[in-house]
Amino acid sequence: MARVEYEDVWKQFAAQGAPAVRGLSLDIADGELLVLLGPSGCGKTTALRMLAGLEEPDRGDIRIAGTSVVGREPKDRDVALVFQSYALYPHLSARENIRYPLKLRKMSRAEQDKRVDHVADMLGIAHLLPRRPAQLSGGEQQRVALARAIVREPRVFLMDEPLSNLDAKLRVHTRTELKTLQRQLETTMVFVTHDQAEAMSLANRIAILSAGELQQIGTPDDVYDHPANLFVAEFIGSPPMNLLEVTRDGDTLVAADGWRLPAPLTRDHSARELTVGLRPEAIAIGTAGQAAEVVAVEPLGSEVIVDVRVGEKALKVRAAPAVRPQPGSTVHLAVEPGAIRLFDRSSGSAFH
């Protein structure tokens, strides 16, 4: 178990015109599950590989338990890495795959067996130990790869999209197992994913990256309710936050179509060119308010997403399952004032 720190870390590859990671600074607490989240090419896997020792930073420092690991071999960092591909040895049984890192440590056979059996029981794979990887499903291979990492009892677990190869149902189930397991082990874990639903459900905190730069770090509730900028607002949430360009008119925000919204109190009252952010659940369909045309209705079982148009602007509204307005009909929209988020239109930064 260990605290992990990135201090102003930069990395650029020769074949790329821009740095893969730009001035990354993170402080990951001992026992925390931190998710690195962002689109493909944002630098999240590069950041993880630098922590593992598979890449070295061009500048900056990376520390585990207060000690710099820059320049150290991966085997000397006491971290365990689980890949998307699982990387199991095809000629070895599940038991021997799990045992392998313990053999490298020249641990006694009795201690190896004790650890392997304990981890297999923990993950519910004891019955799979005699089988080879080709005889295992994707979910079973994923558990064996996890067991091989856990059996080492590392200070830090590093996970690079380990659930991506699983089907949707198994992925949801395994997320729950993984979160429970991390809490039981009380080990620091850094988890990379591009899936924001996965990040929201797993993380103690989420670090969101774009083009190699850290955009925001916070709890899932923080980044969802108070996005730091327009990138985070659009990336987090399904459907993402609705965005409306507005101008300030005293205590009112006016959209191009004439929709008037109450202006939330912010420290900066001078900016006039603004963007309003509204989560789909912050908009209610009722009998009074701004008129909108229904474009489509998306039933999702536990909820309905109603696609509407106000003037030229398309919006998504999250509603109860029984709400089923007809496409082409007119509805009225009311907004929860406390849910309005304001952003600077030019910089994209949020006003607080």
Q: Which H or E element spans position 291? A: strand 290-299
pLDDT of the residue at 81: 86
As a whole number, mean pLDDT of residues 32-52 equals: 95
CB 190 within 8 A of CB 48: yes
For the chain, what percent of residues have pLDDT higher than 70? 98
Of the two residues 309 and 266, the one the predictor is more confident about is 309
Q: State the distance between the two ends of the chain, measured CA to CA, in whole angstroms.
A: 36
pLDDT tens digit string along 96-128? 999 998 988 888 999 998 999 988 888 888 999
Distance CA 194, CA 283 (A): 27
Per the prediction, the chain carries an average pLDDT of: 90
Asked if residue 20 has pLDDT above 90, the reply is yes
Q: Which H or E element spans position 122? A: helix 109-123
Asked if residue 329 has pLDDT above 90, the reply is yes
Asked if residue 204 has pLDDT above 90, the reply is yes
pLDDT of the residue at 176: 83
As a whole number, mean pLDDT of residues 4-21 equals: 93
pLDDT tens digit string along 80-96? 888 877 788 999 999 99
Distance CA 274, CA 102 (A): 58
Asked if residue 267 has pLDDT above 80, the reply is no
pLDDT of the residue at 192: 95
Asked if residue 56 has pLDDT above 90, the reply is yes
Distance CA 305, CA 299 (A): 6
Query: What are the residues facing 10 on neighbouring strands?
Result: 59
pLDDT of the residue at 86: 72
* Domains along the sequence of the chain with CATH: 4-234 (3.40.50.300), 240-351 (2.40.50.140)
pLDDT of the residue at 150: 85
pLDDT of the residue at 1: 64
Of the two residues 201 and 17, the one the predictor is more confident about is 201
pLDDT of the residue at 152: 84
Of the two residues 216 and 273, the one the predictor is more confident about is 216
Name the band, by pLDDT with cuts 50, 70 and 90, for residue 339.
very high
Distance CA 34, CA 103 (A): 30
pLDDT of the residue at 244: 94
The side-by-side arrangement of strands in the sheet containing 260-262 is 260-262, 252-255, 242-249, 273-278, 341-344, 350-351
CB 61 within 8 A of CB 24: no
Asked if residue 269 has pLDDT above 70, the reply is no
Instruction: Record the tokens describing residue 211, joined without a space.
Output: 């083009």
Q: Give the CA count within 13 Å in the CB-facing half-sphere of 247.
A: 4
Q: Which of 1-5, 157-161, 316-320, 337-341 has the highest mean pLDDT?
A: 316-320
